[in-house]
Amino acid sequence: MRLRLTPRDTSFFDLLAASAQHLVTGSTLLAELLGADRPTRKQLAKQLSETEHLADDATHSIMRRLNQTFVTPFDRDDIYALASALDDCMDYMEEAADLIVLYKVDELPARVSEQVQVLQRASELTAEAMPRLRSMDDLPEYWVEVNRLENQADKVHRKLLAELFDDVSDPVLLMKLKEIVEVLEQAADAFEKVANTVETIALKES
Amino acid sequence: MRLRLTPRDTSFFDLLAASAQHLVTGSTLLAELLGADRPTRKQLAKQLSETEHLADDATHSIMRRLNQTFVTPFDRDDIYALASALDDCMDYMEEAADLIVLYKVDELPARVSEQVQVLQRASELTAEAMPRLRSMDDLPEYWVEVNRLENQADKVHRKLLAELFDDVSDPVLLMKLKEIVEVLEQAADAFEKVANTVETIALKES
Amino acid sequence: MRLRLTPRDTSFFDLLAASAQHLVTGSTLLAELLGADRPTRKQLAKQLSETEHLADDATHSIMRRLNQTFVTPFDRDDIYALASALDDCMDYMEEAADLIVLYKVDELPARVSEQVQVLQRASELTAEAMPRLRSMDDLPEYWVEVNRLENQADKVHRKLLAELFDDVSDPVLLMKLKEIVEVLEQAADAFEKVANTVETIALKES
């Protein structure tokens, strides 16, 4: 059990929690975007892009504080890796939304919703877990569940790929859909990276 | 010359050697898969996937021990990088096998065998080198040869790309073959990453 | 303000400056290649490949020295990250040139020149900034400007993608052009990575 941290250190936890909170907003916007029509999609992608900017600012705050703080609550490299991985989750979700709009893809395969549902669940779990880094409570549940989700995402992703190549005969549409599906898979991988970094931190503290 | 290490430390060498041994199994299965018919391919891909799970467990054991051991034989980050790079080699080989089955590609270009031969040779060299980390004997031969192999793989890869674009007129088949060829190239890069990490470790120890 | 460094340490600055200087040569060759005919392109790609080998040697010198030097002017990992990021800039520029030749793409979209102009400006700024690491003078101007350039490159890249999918009906040509455009975008990202690493170093020193 860790002792109470000095006030100056606590801000890392707040900043990480704020960063993860943006992921919940981002994945919710992405899920809405899937079901929306083209003009609404454009608007939602813009909102997601603004959320990404806020997340970017949060990441920069963490990095700046990290570089200027002598004593950090955890290993400096682990906080750095955690902030970077959180940032990657957002970047991939924003990229997926952006590609859907840019490529003017009207209909997405049904299974893409399953990919995004995994991202929504993973972002909620991540946002709930970040504040628990302070006390180190109940973290294994979090990383085990995110790893399970990523395995599920991986299976959905492989099924989707096979379906795309079986069902889509237009090679240009195939290229577009494949890229969107790959970027969503990279988002799921990024959430797993966050969970693995939390596991690393927890193992060092135990 | 290093002194004999304490028993507790030796396990890192054993774990790394075990991890590299899975790569030999994996690359052998991948080579068999190339020459097999579709049902046998499916079976071999499944075996490769099981080997990948074993390799994954080996990586997790290394990481766990790394996070809980105070004194490690080498720089902690270098062991981490080495275990990650070994893991990447396996992941790419498994992904290539999986894509060949998933995309139902019956005929692969002849040069793909050359790519896989490089992976087989690189995995053998890697498996032979890992136990030598203990004594630091004859490591330069290993990393020089793997770097040479990666250069060779790079040339094969570029020739293959040019051939694919010249010879394959069906854009969907082209997409499938290109992705398989790229993933095999990433596997060769991952073996080079392993060798470069070993070089880094050796330079620090010298 | 830092004190003058001991002679032994200064070589890191010289090596980093030399490495960045190769990027100026590389991006100039890449810009020339865009406007050249096919045989001249082949020749310029070869020159770029030779420049990449020189850059590679510079990176290896930095790494070797890093692993054998006990006291380094900055955090060891930061120098490592900086050298790796400089190396990546060159690798992506060389890869782009190589793909243009390999894929026998005669006409490139006009906006590709805009991508390469960003790389030229970024490489000049980087080459000017590296020697200033010694005194830590005027570095913020550098990283702010490179970040601005990368944002500009990102916008050009997204416009290019949309244009490619709107204008190029041949899926095979589309695949070729898309890959070239993506690799140039990765080069721009790599320059931003260099700038971010310099920012990290400067923040730690301040």
Residue C133 is predicted with a pLDDT of 93
Size of the A and C interface in Cβ pairs below 8 Å: 26
* Residue B194 identity: V
Of A165, A200, A206, the CB nearest to B172: A165
Provide the whole-model pTM. Answer: 0.90
Q: Calculate what percentage of chain A has a pLDDT beyond 70.
A: 95
CATH of the domain at B80: 1.20.58.220
Q: Per mean pLDDT, which range of A78-92, B29-43, C60-74 is the poorest?
A: C60-74
Mean pLDDT (chain C, rounded): 91
Residue A19 is predicted with a pLDDT of 93
Q: Is C204 helix (H, G, I), strand (E, B) or coil?
A: helix
Full DSSP string of chain A = -PPPPPHHHHHHHHHHHHHHHHHHHHHHHHHHHHHS-HHHHHHHHHHHHHHHHHHHHHHHHHHHHHHH-SS-SS-HHHHHHHHHHHHHHHHHHHHHHHHHHHTT-----THHHHHHHHHHHHHHHHHHHGGGGTTT-SHHHHHHHHHHHHHHHHHHHHHHHHHHHHH---HHHHHHHHHHHHHHHHHHHHHHHHHHHHHHHHHHH-
Q: Which residues contact C151 (CB under 8 A, 6 or more apart)?
A: none
Residue B4 is predicted with a pLDDT of 45
**With contacts defined as CB-CB under 8 Å, which chain B residues touch A200?**
63, 67
Is A5 within a domain?
no
Q: What is the token pair recorded at C108?
A: 């490139």
Is A166 within a domain?
yes
Q: How far is A171 from chain B (nearest CA, A)?
A: 6
Name the one residue in this structure whose structure tokens are 């395995």.
Answer: A151
Neighbours of B89 (CB within 10 A): 29
> For residues A25 and A85, what is the distance between their CA atoms, to the nearest angstrom?
17
Residue B7: band (very low, low, confident or very high) from pLDDT cuts 50, 70, 90: very low
> For residues B197 and B179, what is the distance between their CA atoms, to the nearest angstrom?
27
Name the one residue in this structure whose structure tokens are 């040019």.
Answer: B162
Is C1 within a domain?
no
B175 to chain C: closest CA residue: C175
Mean pLDDT (chain A, rounded): 91
Residue A52 is predicted with a pLDDT of 95
Residue B75: band (very low, low, confident or very high) from pLDDT cuts 50, 70, 90: confident
Residue B63 is predicted with a pLDDT of 86
Is A112 within a domain?
yes
Residue A48 is predicted with a pLDDT of 97
Is A1 within a domain?
no
List of long-range contacts for C74-78, beta carbons under 8 Å, 24+ apart: C74/C133, C74/C201, C74/C204, C74/C205, C75/C201, C75/C204, C77/A77, C77/B77, C78/C197, C78/C200, C78/C201, C78/C204
Ranges A14-18, B199-203, C113-117, most confident: C113-117
Residue C191: band (very low, low, confident or very high) from pLDDT cuts 50, 70, 90: very high
Residue B200 is predicted with a pLDDT of 87
Residue A6 is predicted with a pLDDT of 47
Of C133, C179, C125, whose CA–CA distance to C152 is shortest? C125
A53 touches chain C (CB under 8 A): no
CA-based angle B34:B163:C189, to the nearest 5? 95
Residue B8 has pLDDT above 70, yes or no: no
Is A78 within a domain?
yes
Of B5, B19, B127, whose CA–CA distance to B73 is shortest? B5
Q: Residues of C numbered 18-47 whose beta carbons fall under 8 angstroms of chain B's beta carbons: which are they?
A: none
Strands (DSSP E) found in chain C: none
Length of chain A: 206
Q: What is the ipTM score, two decimals? A: 0.85
Q: How far is B56 from chain A (nearest CA, A)?
A: 13
Q: Residue C128 is part of which domain span?
A: 10-205
> Which of B167, B203, B205 would you mutate first to test chain C, the one with the most C CBs within 10 A?
B203
Domain count, chain A: 1
Calculate mean pLDDT across residues A133-159.
Answer: 93
Residue B3 is predicted with a pLDDT of 46
Interface contact C98-B158, CB threshold 8 A:
yes
> For residues B197 and B199, what is the distance between their CA atoms, to the nearest angstrom?
5
Is B2 within a domain?
no
* Residue C31 identity: A
Interface contact A175-B175, CB threshold 8 A:
yes
Residue A31 has pLDDT above 50, yes or no: yes
Is A32 within a domain?
yes
> For residues B35 and B44, what is the distance between their CA atoms, to the nearest angstrom?
11
Interface contact C68-B206, CB threshold 8 A:
yes
Calculate mean pLDDT across residues B124-130.
Answer: 97
Residue C82 is predicted with a pLDDT of 95
Interface contact B67-A171, CB threshold 8 A:
no
**With contacts defined as CB-CB under 8 Å, which chain C residues touch B169?**
172
> For residues B163 and B109, what is the distance between their CA atoms, to the nearest angstrom?
9
Of A158, A165, A203, the CB nearest to B67: A203
Residue C112: band (very low, low, confident or very high) from pLDDT cuts 50, 70, 90: very high
> For residues C142 and C137, what is the distance between their CA atoms, to the nearest angstrom?
10
Q: Which residue has the higher pLDDT, C110 or C3?
A: C110
C204 touches chain A (CB under 8 A): yes
Q: What is the token pair recorded at A105?
A: 């893809």
The rounded Cα C162 to chain-centroid distance in angstroms is: 25
Residue C3 is predicted with a pLDDT of 46
Q: Which residue has the higher pLDDT, A169 or B63?
A: A169
Residue C4: band (very low, low, confident or very high) from pLDDT cuts 50, 70, 90: very low
Residue A10: band (very low, low, confident or very high) from pLDDT cuts 50, 70, 90: low
Neighbours of A40 (CB within 10 A): 12
Calculate mean pLDDT across residues B135-145.
Answer: 93
Q: Which residue has the higher pLDDT, A87 or C2?
A: A87
Residue C7 has pLDDT above 60, yes or no: no
The rounded Cα B176 to chain-centroid distance in angstroms is: 22
Q: Which residue has the higher pLDDT, A28 or C201?
A: A28
Beta carbons of A117 and A204 less than 8 angstroms apart = no
Residue B83 has pLDDT above 70, yes or no: yes
- Which H or E run contains C145? helix C139-167
Residue A103: band (very low, low, confident or very high) from pLDDT cuts 50, 70, 90: very high
Q: Which residue has the higher pLDDT, A2 or C185?
A: C185
Q: Is C78 helix (H, G, I), strand (E, B) or coil?
A: helix
Residue A7 is predicted with a pLDDT of 47
Residue A137 is predicted with a pLDDT of 87
Calculate mean pLDDT across residues B167-193.
Answer: 97
List pLDDT tens digits, range A165-206.
999 999 999 999 999 999 999 999 999 999 999 998 998 887
Residue B171: band (very low, low, confident or very high) from pLDDT cuts 50, 70, 90: very high
Q: Which residue has the higher pLDDT, C63 or A46?
A: A46
